[in-house]
Structure 1
Amino acid sequence: MIVKNANILKHLTSAIGNNLPDLHKIPMITSKYNGKLISVSRGEIRVQFLIQPQMTNPLGILHGGMQCTLIDDIIGIAVATLGNDVFSMSINLQINYLGKAKLGEKIYISARIIREGRNIIHASAKISDINDKIISVAQSDLLKTQIDSDYIQSLLNEKQDK
């Protein structure tokens, strides 16, 4: 597959070791939780989060809905690194909760594109703790739409302005 736009990947690569950068018009929920970008390459990303009170259930454990939301967002960023000029949307997301993480602990979310088809992208993700113990695993399919991605257009405009 020809990468139509490598600007997202370049933008992310320049931010490794820092909080997830602004991706223009992407309203990522994960940006509210100060995810630290650990690594990124085409179709893969790894982000670290510190579990904050608003991310937990009443027992002080990372909430299942929050895990699902973070995974969905991080998979979305992994898809963005493919360089497609159209928006891809989740059409399913299956998650298995296998462990737990508590308030104040660090977690790592890794997402990877398994297969990029003509219309459907298949991805996987996992949440693990600092010792690489699995907290949850997920699989997702995303549909390539015909909708132009605002963030792609913003980055194209940024490149032309320079």
Structure 2
Amino acid sequence: MSNTALAFFQQNIGKRIADNSPSPVARFLDGTLIAAEEGSITVEYIVKENMVNPAHILHGGIAATMLDDIIGMTVFTMGNNVFYSTVNLSVDYLFSAKIGEKVLVKSRVVRMGKKIAHAEGEIRNENGVLIAKCTTNLVVTSNTIK
């Protein structure tokens, strides 16, 4: 059985996610897909003015959204056509990112169970400095992806 979801992501490496995503959040974040393999995705984002807090650094809620969004995509690369929904998301904020900076967000499925997926994610700046990291659990829903 071929993994059509993974094939789709791999065909879109180097492209803006917003051009092919059904997700309004993904279109807002406007990242570029850098890498995709089964159980891992890397996306590059540019921190924009509408993504920062009053201190002009990446807003924690936007950082969490970046992590949550690509982890959802990552679970989809595992090849089942079922929608997973986030149960929890624990984020550690370790450094800041300013307007105009590029950040790389990378995810990894740690364990894929029949009902629960466990994953990790991280955000790093262009110099490799760790901006934020997370762990999360997602639960399978009754929704199927068409």
TM-score if structure 1 supplies the norm length?
Answer: 0.85
Counterpart residue number, 2:77? 81
- Report the Cα offset of residue 90 of structure 1: 0.4
CA distance, structure 1, for counterparts of residue 135 and residue 2 of structure 2: 25
Determine which structure has the larger strand proportion and give its number.
2
- Report the Cα offset of residue 28 of structure 1: 4.1
The answer to whether residue 58 in structure 2 is matched with residue 62 in structure 1 is yes
- Report the Cα offset of residue 113 of structure 1: 0.3
Indicate if the aligned counterparts of 1:5 and 1:85 stay in contact, CA closer than 8 A: no
- Report the Cα offset of residue 5 of structure 1: 5.9
CA distance, structure 2, for counterparts of residue 89 and residue 33 of structure 1: 19
List gaps (5 residues or longer) in structure 2.
none
Indicate if the aligned counterparts of 2:103 and 2:124 stay in contact, CA closer than 8 A: yes
2:35 aligned counterpart, secondary structure: strand
Indicate if the aligned counterparts of 1:5 and 1:84 stay in contact, CA closer than 8 A: no
Structure exhibiting the larger radius of gyration computed from Cα positions: 1
Alignment of 1:2-81 (within 5 A): 6-20=3-17, 21-23=19-21, 26-81=22-77
Indicate if the aligned counterparts of 2:95 and 2:131 stay in contact, CA closer than 8 A: yes
Q: Deviations over 1:86-140 (max 9, x none)?
A: 1110001000000100001000000110000111000000000001110000000
- Report the Cα offset of residue 15 of structure 1: 1.1
Q: Deviations over 1:5-41 (max 9, x none)?
A: 6212111101111211514xx3241222321111000
- In the comparison of the two structures, how many residue pairs are matched? 145
TM-score if structure 2 supplies the norm length?
Answer: 0.94
Q: Equivalent pairs: percent with the same residue?
A: 34
RMSD of the alignment, in Å?
A: 1.3
- Report the Cα offset of residue 54 of structure 1: 0.2
CA distance, structure 2, for counterparts of residue 51 and residue 22 of structure 1: 21
**Where in structure 1 do 4 or more consecutive aligned residues deviate above 4 Å?**
none
CA distance, structure 1, for counterparts of residue 93 and residue 108 of structure 2: 18
